[in-house]
Amino acid sequence: MYDPADNDSVITELILAGKAGNSKALTSLIELYSPSIHRVVYSIVRDENIVEDLAQETFLKMLAALKHYEFRAPFRSWLLRIAVNLCRDHLRKKKVRKIMTLFQVNEDSGEEQSFSGSEPDPATLFERVERKMLLEKALERLPQNSRVVLIMRELEELSYEEIAEILHWKMGTVKSRLFRARQELAKELSPHREEIK
Per-residue pLDDT reduced to its tens digit, 81-90: 999 999 888 8
Domain 1-101 has CATH 1.10.1740.10: yes
* Cα–Cα distance measured from residue 162 to residue 138, given in angstroms and rounded to the nearest whole number: 25
Mean pLDDT of 3-30: 84
* Cα–Cα distance measured from residue 23 to residue 61, given in angstroms and rounded to the nearest whole number: 15
For the entire predicted model, the pTM comes to 0.56
Q: Is the pLDDT of residue 28 over 50?
A: yes
Question: In this predicted model, what pLDDT tens digit does every residue of 52-93 receive, in sequence order?
Answer: 999 999 999 999 999 999 888 889 999 999 999 998 888 777
Taking residue 38's Cβ as centre, other Cβ atoms within 10 Å add up to 17
Radius of gyration of the chain (CA): 18
CATH code of the region 103-197: 1.10.10.10
Q: Is the pLDDT of residue 193 over 70?
A: no
* Cα–Cα distance measured from residue 39 to residue 81, given in angstroms and rounded to the nearest whole number: 14
Q: Is the pLDDT of residue 23 over 50?
A: yes
Domain ranges of the chain: 1-101, 103-197
Same fold, 1-101 and 103-197: no
